[in-house]
Amino acid sequence: MLPKTLKGRLTAAVTALVAAACVMVTAVALEVAYREMKESTGQQQYSLLTSAAAHLAFELETKHTLLRTLAEEIALQQADGGAPIQDVLAHHPGLRQAFADLVVLDTAGRIAGLQQPGYFLRSQLADSSCLQETLRAGAALTLQPPAGKANGRAVVVLSQPVVDAKGRTAFVLCGGTSLEDSSFFGQAARLRPGATGYLFALTRDGTLLYHPDRGRHALKAGEAAPLPAMARAAMEGWDGWAFGNDAQGTPSLLTYKQVGNSGWVLASAFPADEALAGIARARHHAWIWTAALAICAGVGGWAIMVVLLRPLRALRRHVHAVEREEAEIGVLDLEREDEVGALGRAFHSLSVKRQIAEQQLKELSLTDTLTGLGNRRQFDHEVALLIDQASRYRFGLAVAFLDVDCFKAINDTYGHAAGDAVLREFARRLRTVTRPTDRTYRLAGDEFVIVSERLESGENARRFAAKILRAIRRPFDIGAGVSLPVTTSIGLAVARFPVAPVGDMMQHADAALYQTKRNGRDGYTIKELGMPAVASTPSRRPGLRTVAP
């Protein structure tokens, strides 16, 4: 009923206009907040899933590397008429931690070696899928569980062919492992979203590898209910997140991430009610306050809403800046005690963990795991920089190429464990005789390289080489009371400014190394670029050296 007076009508009209303005402004502000919350939550879930997928890919590659190393050892033992396959397996107790089952099959399907037989390989061995698929592919495989054979266990089998000296597949290694193990989905499952969300994994052909419902393991996804469109897209290689309905029809935040080159898809479903619970509560309270304050604080309500949303917009802006590497992680506000502060701390923690994981992966990729020295990849990366630095600052350097004399005989006589002990001790002794500025690398097998800055004269190079020889000649203790005499052959290429390219330095050092071998090993040959080669030869009395002119 309209007021009878003009004053009342104007008051009512102004009040209605202010109330309408408050309703419209609040509605727009809440929609903006809802969109920003969806974006922030989606990016956070995708980052968590990316970290979990990287961990799974690393674990798969690690287990394939173990099988590949074991296959090379078996091939070498078979070629040399060495230990039986079962003895080789027994010498690697660490395989029991890496695989629940490990079976070595010959090409006829007969078991040539067995370690920890269990339930994981039964279905694969029953129809010879592990053997036949590996023989057809001629390469290492990650075998998926047979579709439709759900047994309540999430399992996978890794295979590796053992190639003989003629390049033919002689045996096939099959290793079974549980995907619920702590190194696989057992750890990834800890990152499940919220209290009601869950993680699951499937293959590109739709076979479920892992699901909270154990009864669905190894079943074909989509059999019980149609697959969401995003799941079908993920099976074709898509990565990302979006809001939609999961397989049970529940509105959820669905996130998908490919697991390296394994052909697996790691996914999470976060029910929308829980994922957006914070913004839903904020929306409810905002409408109550808007109704209460519409007449007296319509414009003020809008201003307050803008202020309240400012930290969330700032968080979103900072998150995007960090993702685009336009800002450091420290830009996030970690001191706030509200939901925005919690989101900032969660993203900060995730980013720090990812940086640590990336640094660890980088160190692993540049380090020889046996000796702790730099590997060939690190050598290729650093030596060119060192030579460029020498050219820029006008100083010389030397490249020493070393190997262990008669290393194959040590391996053949005392076994690969003794050979590994010799290589570790060899690397340790090199560290003791090199300067802090020297760089030492293990390229492959028993081949080592030392790059020394400002080692420009032949006399300094001779003292350096003699120091290495003295350090190596001390007997090597390889355990079990066995002490081995070990020597090394050294080839040094010494260059003053201007320093030759990397390839030339390595070529001269390699040639000098082979000259040392021709002179009887246990010595050194120095090639000063632009000067004749100078070699040392063993004397008749141990410990004395003569230098050839």
Q: What CATH number does the domain containing 414 carry? A: 3.30.70.270
Residues 412 and 315 placed together within one structural domain of the fold = no
Residues 355 and 381 placed together within one structural domain of the fold = no
Residues 356 and 383 placed together within one structural domain of the fold = no
Phi, psi values for residue 321, rounded to 5°: -65, -40
Residues 392 and 526 placed together within one structural domain of the fold = yes
Residue 48 has pLDDT above 70, yes or no: yes
- Domain presence at residue 459: yes
Residues 506 and 380 placed together within one structural domain of the fold = yes
- Domain presence at residue 207: no
Can you tell me the distance from the alpha carbon of 200 to that of 206, in angstroms, rounded to the nearest whole number? 12
Of the three residues 296, 331, 363, the one that is the final residue of a domain is 363
Q: Which residues contact 125 (CB under 8 A, 6 or more apart)?
A: 103, 174
Of the three residues 331, 363, 395, the one that is the final residue of a domain is 363
Residue 186 has pLDDT above 70, yes or no: no
- Domain presence at residue 114: no
Residues 510 and 436 placed together within one structural domain of the fold = yes
Burial status of residue 279 (CB atoms within 10 A of its CB: 0-12, 13-18, 19 or more):
buried
Of the three residues 334, 363, 392, the one that is the final residue of a domain is 363
**What's the number of CA atoms in the CB half-sphere (13 Å) around residue 480?**
6
**What band does 430 get if pLDDT is binned at 50, 70 and 90?**
very high
Residues 384 and 532 placed together within one structural domain of the fold = yes
Q: Are strands 240-245 and 208-210 parallel, antiparallel or unpaired?
A: unpaired
- Domain presence at residue 520: yes
Among the residue ranges 17-21, 62-66, 88-92, the one predicted with the least confidence is 17-21
User: How high is the pLDDT of residue 8?
Assistant: 62
Instruction: Identify the residue whose tokens are 């030759």.
Output: 500
Kindly state the percentage of the chain with pLDDT values over 70: 76
- Domain presence at residue 272: no
Beta strand segments in 454-521, E? 476-479, 482-484, 488-495
Residues 410 and 440 placed together within one structural domain of the fold = yes
Tell me the range of 83-92, 269-278, 415-424, 479-488 where mean pLDDT is highest: 415-424
Residues 509 and 390 placed together within one structural domain of the fold = yes
- Higher-pLDDT residue of 31 and 357 is 31
- Domain presence at residue 512: yes
CA angle 75, 447, 381 (to 5 degrees): 110
Phi, psi values for residue 483, rounded to 5°: -125, 125
Are the CB atoms for 266 and 192 separated by under 8 Å?
Answer: no
Residue 135 has pLDDT above 60, yes or no: yes
Residue 316 has pLDDT above 80, yes or no: no
Q: What total of structural domains would you count in the chain?
A: 2
Quote the domain boundaries for residue 354. Answer: 18-37+277-363
Q: Which residues contact 505 (CB under 8 A, 6 or more apart)?
A: 387, 399, 493, 495, 499
**With DSSP H G I counted as helix, E B as strand and the rest as coil, what are the percentages for the chain, rounded to 5?**
50, 20, 30
**What band does 544 get if pLDDT is binned at 50, 70 and 90?**
very low
| Mean pLDDT confidence for 392-414 | 89
- Domain presence at residue 129: no
Residues 339 and 401 placed together within one structural domain of the fold = no
User: How high is the pLDDT of residue 549?
Assistant: 26
- Domain presence at residue 125: no
Can you tell me the distance from the alpha carbon of 75 to that of 68, in angstroms, rounded to the nearest whole number? 11
Residue 334 has pLDDT above 80, yes or no: no
Residues 436 and 497 placed together within one structural domain of the fold = yes
pTM tops 0.75, yes or no: no
Residues 296 and 325 placed together within one structural domain of the fold = yes
Residue 272 has pLDDT above 90, yes or no: no
